[in-house]
Amino acid sequence: MTDNTRHSVQINPEKCIGCVHCMIACPTKAIRIKNGKALIIDELCIDCGECLRFCPQDAVESMTTSFSDLKAFPYKVVIPATVLYGQFDNTTLPNEILFALRRVGFDYVYELSTICELNNTALEMYLATHPKPRPFISSTCPVVIRLIQRRFPSLCEHIVPIEPPRENAAKILRANLPRMTKVPASNIGIFHITPCPAKMVSINHPASMEKSYLDGAISIRDIFKTIYQTLRQSKEDTIMAHLFPETIFSGTGVGTALSGGETRGLKNHRTVAVSGVRDTIRVLNQVELGLLKDVDLLECTVCPDGCIGGPLTVENRYLAKSRILRLVSIMGERTVVDSSDMNLLYHKDFLSFHHPIAPLESPPLDADPAQAISKANRRNEIFQRLPRKDCGACGAPDCRTLADDIVRGLAALDDCPFAKKEET
């Protein structure tokens, strides 16, 4: 059986009509149309979710945690991404959303912005004590990690070895909840609410630890309606949320939902923030060529404008962005993280990776160098026979990729209806 947890998206063959939208949109050319259905090539997919955005048939499904999966855990804990706060109208405050999550059935709701701020502070400490290499690259977006492992192997050592906030929050909860609640550890399920399917891969197959501290991730798309209805049905909760302002929010932390959220607070360092998958690939190439050595920290998020533009969000990202900015300004720049707590956690290595991230390179055209050269020549000859229409009729995203598939034995020249036949 194939391991269907390897990737975070799956094509539903019932719904897929074999159009070429996802195949053309894929930034790593990981999709082919075979027998009238889209097919994802595991080794090339980086879980960015572009296919999910572009599918007009709704046939690309995210492999995130379903509500029925939650039943396995008697005590349910949820850690919503701060992106969630931008999905509702301006009058719905974060505290009300957290209240609604309790009413929906979560036993414990953990607010993430404080940990986001904590991570920013940890980043700052790490940069200050590690002069090399430059630039460091932040570890928050799991797609960036995959991209580096697969396409920019030399940059693995540039990734800041600090776990992202969602993992550190879950780690803190694992360490404390059994004692605080008297619930046995095995009964506690901890779930993230996520704007992207990629978190699922980082949970099922983490790159920097043996096992994730999270049990799953619920899509914002899936849970939005439930939260929305709960908010409408239980107006008295709103009042309660106002009367129990027990949660401390960090403005800096909430701001990490946007591109630049991790770099904004780093006053003593030179930083660059890039968002969008194509610009991320471009800047990572520049780093690999040694062109950004004067930058201390590079923040890359593959979604447009950062996680707020994640493929599983529901709200228009410009509106969502403006709401997050409004929250950040209401909450202010006040620091909520105690620096001595922070120091302690940092120096106990509580926030660090268990192990470094290793490259996951795709194989060359051939293991034998001379054979690889012949195949590259052959690929160019095949390309000459193709019309350069890049129409996708062959089931590959463009003519060059078809030529590549042919030399790798994955396709045939006949797949192209316009190919010049081989001379015999």
Partner 1 sequence: MTKDTVFRQEFPVKGGDFSRAGEVSWEIKNLLKELGLSTPVVLRAAIASYEAELNIIMYAWEGRLVLSVTPGRVHVVVEDSGPGIEDIELAMTEGYSTATLEMRELGFGAGMGLANIKKNTDAFLITSEVGRGTRLELTFLTNGQRP
Residue 86 interacts with ligand SF4 (CB under 6 A): yes or no: no
Residue number, 205 or 385, with CB nearest to ligand SF4: 205
Residue number, 260 or 306, with CB nearest to ligand SF4: 306
Among 98, 198, 320, 407, the residue binding ligand SF4 under the rule CB under 6 A is: 198
Residue 304 interacts with partner 1 (CB under 8 A): yes or no: no
Residue number, 265 or 310, with CB nearest to ligand SF4: 310
* Radius of gyration for the alpha carbons in the chain, expressed in angstroms and rounded: 23
Mark the segment that binds ligand SF4 (CB under 6 A) among 12-20, 117-125, 302-310, 341-349.
Answer: 302-310
Count of CB atoms within 10 A of residue 89's CB?
Answer: 10
Mark the segment that binds ligand SF4 (CB under 6 A) among 190-198, 227-235, 336-344, 355-363.
Answer: 190-198
Residue 147 interacts with ligand SF4 (CB under 6 A): yes or no: no
75-80/108-109 β-pairing = parallel
Residue type, 370: A
Mark the segment that binds ligand SF4 (CB under 6 A) among 118-126, 137-145, 232-240, 414-422.
Answer: 137-145
Which residues within the stretch 349-388 sit at the binding site for partner 1 (CB under 8 A)?
361, 364-367, 369-374, 376-377, 380
Residue number, 1 or 289, with CB nearest to partner 1: 289
Contacts of 20 (CB under 8 A, 6+ apart): 33, 392, 397
Residue 302 interacts with ligand SF4 (CB under 6 A): yes or no: yes
Number of helical H runs and strand E runs in the chain: 16, 11
Q: Residue 243 touches which of partner 1, ligand SF4, none (CB < 5 to 8 A by kind)? A: none
DSSP string, 177-197: HHHHH---GGGEEEEEEESST
Q: Where are the beta strands (DSSP E) in 111-167?
A: 136-137
Count of CB atoms within 10 A of residue 73's CB?
Answer: 18
Task: State the Cα torsion 254-257-260-263 to the nearest 10°.
Answer: 50
Among 80, 135, 161, 195, the residue binding ligand SF4 under the rule CB under 6 A is: 195
| Cα angle value 334/338/342 (rounded, 5°) | 125
CA distances from 333 to 108, 130, 196, 319 (A): 27, 26, 27, 22
Mark the segment that binds ligand SF4 (CB under 6 A) among 297-305, 319-327, 328-336, 383-391.
Answer: 297-305
Residues contributing to the site for ligand SF4 (CB under 6 A): 141-143, 195-196, 198, 301-303, 306-307, 310
Residues forming contacts to partner 1 in the complex (CB under 8 A) are 153-154, 282, 285-286, 288-291, 361, 364-367, 369-374, 376-377, 380
